[in-house]
């Protein structure tokens, strides 16, 4: 199979320099339809981690032509984006978290123009200290996690401050998801009792365990993952970063977990303890560099997982699953370079780098389309032994 291995940024940078030009970007220049791709045999790793493995399904890679509508950044003289780390989007805007500001920059979905920015360093009104995650809630508000200021800042889609949600001493979160009734789910970093549910006023409602039986200790870097809001706004999907699969949290709690189309066991973790007087420092380190979900986004009734894995498409594929069934549908291959994604209003927003310069690109994809769960060959897909939502 022949691929155009140029990064998307080399192609889409023409949009930055010539905004009026139209560019059709294929995920790969020559992409074979219905190309069966088996993931690695996860059973080979189970002895190392002590975790159960799931047989891989057939990955179906389909060709897609996406129209690159605009791009921002990618050139040394463009300092609008300094060190962006996360994306979120709705039908009218894409939001970029840039902790180096620290600030949130909102771009218009239509043309990439700057709609507004919010934040400066500090602890007062309109200020952020060390924001680490953003998400669009089920009510259409933008949530900004700022643990250093012990709050979640809630913004309207036009950038107006709406309210603050106090964290009340809680810390150690890596992502968040807002539900329609104003509640917030937060993903704790490396903890089996991983999901914290906060009320609209910041009061702790509950702490929810992960639904997987695999893995090692309760406190473990194995459990890193990404929360993404699910339609119609009352559910949140958790996609694990190091293996296994994903699950949906709804009003009743976690649904049965679903394995990735390329599943593998969780990696081993080494633990180092060092005592300094009365203080004990515990350091955890993942063994190896294998990763699963790099990022995840939900649009309509579809989950999009930016995936690493170990196949020939490693770090260059987006897997699509139907919601709420969890059934695997298809995959899109692309040249490596995308680090974060957001999907909304038929657009894919991709954050990466052109060399060392941050680049945000917008592609018209038509997602989400009407979902017709595709038949998938092989065992272990969402409709197989792994269960569904």
The predicted-structure confidence for 194-251, as pLDDT tens digits, reads as follows 899 999 999 999 988 889 887 655 667 788 899 998 766 668 999 999 999 999 998 7
Do 382 and 326 contact (CB within 8 A), yes or no?
Answer: yes
Strands 35-38 and 293-299: unpaired
DSSP annotation string for 180-231: TTS-EEEEETTBSS-EEEE-TTS-EEEEE--S---SS-SB-GGG-EEEEEET
Q: CA–CA distance from 377 to each of 269, 310, 327, 330, 373 (Å)?
A: 33, 20, 12, 12, 13
Residue 68 has pLDDT above 60, yes or no: yes
Residue 25 has pLDDT above 50, yes or no: no
Neighbours of 128 (CB within 10 A): 25
- Predicted local confidence at residue 3, as pLDDT: 29
Residue 37 has pLDDT above 60, yes or no: no
Residue 65 corresponds to which tokens in the numbers above? 């032509």
The predicted-structure confidence for 96-117, as pLDDT tens digits, reads as follows 999 999 999 999 999 999 999 9
Give 302's Cβ-side CA count (13 Å radius): 25
The predicted-structure confidence for 343-387, as pLDDT tens digits, reads as follows 999 999 999 988 889 999 999 987 754 333 333 333 334 333 333
- How much of the chain, in percent, has pLDDT values that exceed 90? 48
- Predicted local confidence at residue 217, as pLDDT: 59
Structural domains of the chain ordered from first start: 8-364 (2.120.10.30)
The predicted-structure confidence for 137-177, as pLDDT tens digits, reads as follows 988 999 999 999 999 999 999 999 999 999 988 888 999 99
- Averaged pLDDT of the chain: 79
Q: Which of 40-54, 142-156, 165-179, 310-324 tops mean pLDDT? A: 142-156
Question: Is residue 63 very low, low, confident or very high in pLDDT (cuts 50, 70, 90)?
Answer: low
- Predicted local confidence at residue 178, as pLDDT: 93
Give long-range contacts, CB 8 A cutoff, 24+ apart: 95-101.
Answer: 95/134, 95/136, 95/142, 95/342, 96/351, 96/360, 97/131, 97/132, 97/133, 97/134, 97/144, 99/130, 99/131, 99/132, 101/128
Average pLDDT rounded to a whole number, residues 5-30: 37
Those residues with Cβ within 8 angstroms of residue 341's Cβ, 6 or more apart along the chain or in another chain: 87, 295, 297, 304, 306, 318, 348, 349, 350, 351
Angle CA 233–234–235, to nearest 5? 100
Residue 5 has pLDDT above 60, yes or no: no
Average pLDDT rounded to a whole number, residues 69-81: 88
Residue 50 has pLDDT above 50, yes or no: no
- Predicted local confidence at residue 384, as pLDDT: 35
Residue 96 corresponds to which tokens in the numbers above? 């970029």
Question: In this predicted model, which residue has the larger pLDDT, 300 or 87?
Answer: 87
């Amino acid at each position: 199979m022949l691929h155009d291995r140029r990064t998307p940024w080399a192609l889409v940078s023409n949009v930055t320099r010539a905004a009026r030009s139209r560019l059709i970007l294929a995920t790969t220049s020559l992409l074979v339809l219905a190309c069966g791709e088996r993931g690695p045999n996860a059973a080979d790793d189970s002895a190392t981690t002590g975790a159960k493995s799931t047989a891989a399904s057939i990955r179906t890679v389909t060709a897609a032509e996406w129209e690159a509508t605009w791009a921002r950044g990618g050139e040394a003289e463009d300092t609008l984006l300094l060190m962006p780390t996360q994306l979120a989007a709705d039908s009218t805007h894409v939001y970029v978290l840039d902790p180096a500001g620290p600030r949130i920059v909102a771009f218009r979905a239509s043309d990439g123009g700057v709609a507004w920015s919010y934040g400066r360093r500090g602890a007062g009104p309109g200020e952020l200290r060390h924001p680490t995650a953003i998400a669009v809630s089920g009510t259409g508000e933008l949530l900004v996690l700022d643990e250093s200021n012990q709050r979640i800042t809630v913004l309207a889609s036009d950038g107006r401050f709406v309210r603050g949600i106090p964290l009340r001493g809680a810390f150690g979160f890596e992502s968040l998801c807002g539900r329609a009734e104003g509640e917030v789910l937060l993903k704790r970093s490396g903890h089996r009792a991983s999901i914290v549910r906060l009320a609209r006023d910041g009061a702790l409602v509950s702490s929810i365990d992960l639904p997987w039986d695999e893995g090692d200790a309760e406190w473990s870097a194995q459990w890193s993952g990404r929360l993404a809001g699910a339609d119609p706004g009352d559910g949140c999907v958790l996609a694990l970063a190091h293996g296994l699969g994903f699950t949906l949290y709804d009003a009743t709690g976690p649904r049965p977990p679903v394995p990735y189309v390329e599943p593998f066991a969780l990696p081993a973790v080494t633990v180092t303890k060092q005592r300094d007087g009365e203080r004990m420092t515990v350091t955890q380190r993942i063994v190896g560099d294998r990763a699963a979900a790099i990022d995840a986004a939900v649009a309509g009734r579809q989950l999009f997982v930016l995936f690493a894995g170990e196949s020939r498409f490693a770090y260059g594929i987006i897997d699509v699953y139907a919601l709420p069934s969890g059934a695997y549908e298809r995959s899109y291959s692309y040249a490596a370079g995308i680090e974060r994604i957001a999907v909304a209003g038929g657009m894919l927003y991709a954050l990466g780098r052109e060399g060392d310069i941050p680049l945000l690109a917008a592609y018209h994809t038509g997602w989400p389309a009407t979902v017709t769960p595709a038949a998938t060959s092989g065992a272990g897909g969402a409709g197989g032994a792994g269960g569904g939502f």
